[in-house]
Amino acid sequence: MKHIGERIRARRHALAMSQARLAEAAGITASAVSQIESGAIRTLRNDTLARVALALQTTALELTAGLESESAALPADELRLLESYRQLDAPLKDIALKLVRALKS
């Protein structure tokens, strides 16, 4: 049975993503990614798991249980939006989030 770190590593490899890139996208350290993938860390806080899943363009359910959901693959427009967001500097990310929240209201 695969542990969460093995699923994270497999998904990261499928996306041709480095540990450093995953760490940056998920807001954790590269060391933490390495420890998770090796199995040294086997449980993640919910918010960390959500960020890792988002960075890997999948769901927390897929990563924790290996169960694919219909929403595991993001639509192309959402992927473009996510990639654009990731390329912003921190102050611009804050502005982008405020804009999205304002559009939701």
Range in 34-38, 72-76, 92-96, 97-101 the model is least confident about:
72-76
Percent of the chain clearing pLDDT 70 (strictly above): 88
Residue 73 has φ and ψ, to the nearest 5°, of: -100, 125
Query: CA–CA separation, 27 vs 68, rounded Å?
Result: 24
Segment 77-104 shows an average pLDDT of: 85
Q: pTM score > 0.85 for this model?
A: no
CATH topology of domain 1-72: 434 Repressor (Amino-terminal Domain) (1.10.260)
Q: Is the pLDDT of residue 3 over 80?
A: yes
Token reading at 33 = 């990614």
Could you state, in order of their start, the residue ranges of all structural domains in the chain?
1-72, 74-105
Query: CA–CA separation, 87 vs 70, rounded Å?
Result: 27
- Tell which wins on pLDDT, 70 or 74: 74
By C-alpha distance, which of 2, 7, 28, 30 is closest to 18? 30
pLDDT of residue 1: 62
Q: Which residues of 7-28 are buried (b: 16+ CB within 10 A; e: fewer)?
A: bbbebbeeeebebebbbebbeb
- Tell which wins on pLDDT, 73 or 57: 57
Cα–chain-centroid distance for residue 37? Answer: 14
pLDDT of residue 70: 43
Cα–chain-centroid distance for residue 90? Answer: 17
